[in-house]
Amino acid sequence: MFEIKHRDGMARIAEFTTPHGVVDTPNIMPVVNPNVKLITPRELQKKFKSEVLITNSYVIYQSQHLKDRALERGLHSLLDFTGAIMTDSGTFQAHVYGELDIEPTEILDFQVNIGSDISTILDMFTEPTDNSSVVKKKVDTTVARAVDAMDRYGDGPSHIALPIQGGIYPDLREECAERLSRLKGSFYPIGGVVPLLENYRFFDLVNVIIASKRGLGPTGPVHLFGAGHPMLYPLAVLLGCDLFDSSSYAKYARRGDMMYPDGTRNIDDIEHLACLCPTCSDLTVEELKDLDTDEKTRKIAEHNLWVSYNEIEKVKQAVREESLWELVERRARAHPYLLKSLKALTSNWKTMEIYQPKGRKKALFYTGKSTLERPMVKRLKVWIRDSYSPTVCGPTIIFNGREDKKPYNRYLTREIKALSPEYSVNLLMQTPLGPIPLEMDEVYPVAQSIFPEDLNDEASLQKYLDRCDITDVIYWDGLETLESLDKVTGISYELMKVYSVCEYQFCRGAGEVLTNGELELVKNRRGRIKNVFLNGKHILSMRHYDGLFSLKEEGAILLHKHLQAPLLRVQVTEDSASYNAEGKNVFNGFVNYAWEHIRPGDEVLIVDPNDSLVAIARAFNSPYEMENYHVGLAARTRTGFSSSQS
């Protein structure tokens, strides 16, 4: 029902199957009011290529005329739309007008009966002002209604939307999401966020989304209820939201507000349209202003929709380029509260890190302090602080990194030659990312990052030295520094490099396994490591774009032999194993278990139920996704081991 095609961290491009066609996500569901069709569903489909829209079943139910027609001819005929239609239940009306005079089962039955593709239960809207005991009760009621709905309609054909409530309490959000996810639903909106959106409480919003996603685990589409401003799409998609409903395009239009990715401007204040959408391209600003009210509203609504769809396209392109984080940081400059919301990403970095690859093809562009708090950066810093151990006994030499010359080892060739392996010293770089062992200098994003200036941070170096109890420190000050050193033979920079990168990339112990013996390095013309041979066997190749290794057959065999299950492994079913051994990809639904520290993009060992090695693959998913999704790619097989080899 929901197949992920591309991903960038928690963001995904996917295909969601409904009774009325496949919906590509991320996507927008324009809100259609059955009584007031500012832009008709047919136009939405023809002109805007809308694949899905949302309407309110409670509004239809309340009107005898609409209700009869819907029951007679079906929802799609009523609205004149052949794509997918989601219906809401009246919860929002309850939020605005108070208690409704309708039974939860009554309105759900109605939605299913009129042929809605995604029917929503009557959830209890949790207000940001509700205290935790009120929220708890509403969560309990929402979950009870969800259980009942899934009992009756869990087998289809309509998807049942089970909204996550929980107010602004992350623990209640997580609990609600967790309880709802146990029902194995196929569509999860995050509800109760409209007041946060209306008041620009983006910091709280981020916390709410992340807590909900944490509780949900890997699931089908997640819909952010009521988020209709394109300004929010990059951030919400980054957090793993897939669908947005938009009534704002029409509501804003009625008061003359034009949406832009960086905010909103009223038509009365606009002298230059500055928009290339089809609607604006056909009009001068004067012509737009001179239209009669209805026509002006219509045109502005069209503009708002074009801009919204266009922003979704930008977000999707960013996911394809794995640069969504950069887009979010740039867009966050649109409003100080959006900027503040990035801080909530930082405090939740561990939840997000699970979905982040260790490297990517695109360099890290610094857009401000928050760049240094991204999970991809944070993971490396925390590893260096907590798990890296200096390779040799001896003093630590500190170099000052230069932004204009990376990787650092290239301008330090002379220094490295003089020091290693003649002296037993550890080499540490001061960099904008904090202190980095020199042998890690080609690993993403150390070499693959662009900073506007030298931002070497003395304070973080000192903190690191203190924390790791490094007291024997020498700041490099030209080759004279050698005179203050004792000559005790150490190990070569290259050996350190293979060892430490393996420890970081694979797991603790991998460095020893993959360097224990006669190590031979093949380098390219520029002196970069290309291939690594151990005792004459090709075990690793270094990827030029992220400084990490791709695992060769002999390397995989060594890791498999020396590191116990479950390390580095994805165990697949017997059936899948024989298939993967032929070099075919690993699919979700055939995974027995996946090691919890696997990240998308990691090199993994595919094993059968007896722990025999059948293939080397690159993970596409996080371990939780591999274990929980039923369809889609889990890992891309690079090499299958025929039975003779394994």
Residues binding ligand GUN (CB under 6 A):
88-89, 91-92, 120, 123, 125, 163, 191-192, 194, 225-226
Instruction: Indicate which single residue of 28, 107, 196, 280 sits in contact with Zn ion (rule: CB under 5 A).
Output: 280
Tokens 């420190």 belong to residue: 473
Distance of closest approach, residue 97 Cβ to ligand GUN, in angstroms? 13
Select 167 or 432, whichever has its Cβ closest to ligand GUN.
167
Which of 1, 100, 277, 485 is in the footprint of Zn ion by CB under 5 A?
A: 277
280 binds, among Zn ion, ligand GUN, none (CB under 5 to 8 A by kind): Zn ion
Kindly tell me which of 122 and 617 has the beta carbon lying closer to ligand GUN.
Answer: 122
Number of helices (H), then strands (E), in the chain: 27, 29
Task: Determine the Cα–Cα distance for residues 302 and 40; give it in Å rounded to an integer.
Answer: 11
**From the list ligand GUN, Zn ion, none, partner contacted by residue 163 (C-beta under 5 to 8 A by kind):** ligand GUN
Count Cα atoms within 13 angstroms, Cβ side, for 391: 31
Instruction: State the nearest-atom distance from the C-beta of 175 to ligand GUN, in Å.
Output: 16
Q: Which of 176, 275, 397, 570 binds Zn ion (CB under 5 A)?
A: 275
When asked if residue 299 is in the footprint of Zn ion (CB under 5 A), the reply is no
> Least Å distance between CB 142 and Zn ion?
39
Q: Are 621 and 570 in contact (CB under 8 A)?
A: no
**Does residue 297 contact residue 254 with C-beta atoms inside 8 Å?**
yes
Nearest 10 degrees: CA dihedral of 428, 431, 433, 434? 50
Q: How far apart are CA 323 and CA 317, in angstroms?
A: 8
Task: State yes or no: is 88 an active-site residue.
Answer: yes
CB of 190 to ligand GUN, least distance (A): 8
Give the number of other CB atoms < 10 A from CB of residue 462. 12
Q: Closer to ligand GUN by CB, 190 or 280: give it.
A: 190
**Residue 76 contacts by C-beta under 8 Å, 6 or more apart in sequence?**
20, 82, 85, 115
Sorted by sequence, the CB contacts under 8 Å of residue 362 that are 6+ apart come out as 321, 322, 323
Task: Name the nearest CA neighbour of 110 among 96, 98, 120, 100.
Answer: 120
Closest contact distance (angstroms) between CB of 127 and ligand GUN is 10
CB nearer Zn ion, residue 302 or residue 627: 302
Give the count of beta carbons closer than 10 Å to the beta carbon of residue 523: 12
Site for Zn ion in 347-376 (CB under 5 A): none
- The CB-of-258 to Zn ion minimum distance in angstroms stands at 7
Interatomic CA distance for residues 473 and 459, integer angstroms: 15
Q: Which of 373, 353, 377 is nearest to 363 (CA)?
A: 377
Q: Using CB distances below 5 to 8 A depending on partner kind, what does residue 51 bind out of ligand GUN, Zn ion, none?
A: none
Residue with smaller CB distance to Zn ion, 94 or 277? 277
Catalytic member of 8, 68, 80, 88: 88
Taking every pair of C-alpha atoms in the chain, what is the biggest distance, in angstroms? 94
Distances in Å between the Cα of 582 and the Cα atoms of 4, 550, 579, 639 are: 24, 19, 5, 8
Exposed, middle or buried, 413 (CB in 10 Å: 0-12/13-18/19+)?
Answer: exposed
Of 227 and 613, which CB lies nearer to ligand GUN in the complex structure?
A: 227
Q: Measured at the alpha carbon of residue 326, what is the angle toward residues 325 and 328, in degrees to the nearest 5? A: 65
> Which lies closer to ligand GUN via its Cβ, residue 54 or residue 572?
54
**Smallest separation, CB 276 to Zn ion (Å):** 7
Residue from 303, 316, 331, 360 in contact with Zn ion (CB under 5 A): 303
Nearest residue to ligand GUN on Cβ basis: 191
Q: Residue numbers of the site for Zn ion (CB under 5 A)?
A: 275, 277, 280, 303
Catalytic residue numbers, as ranges: 88
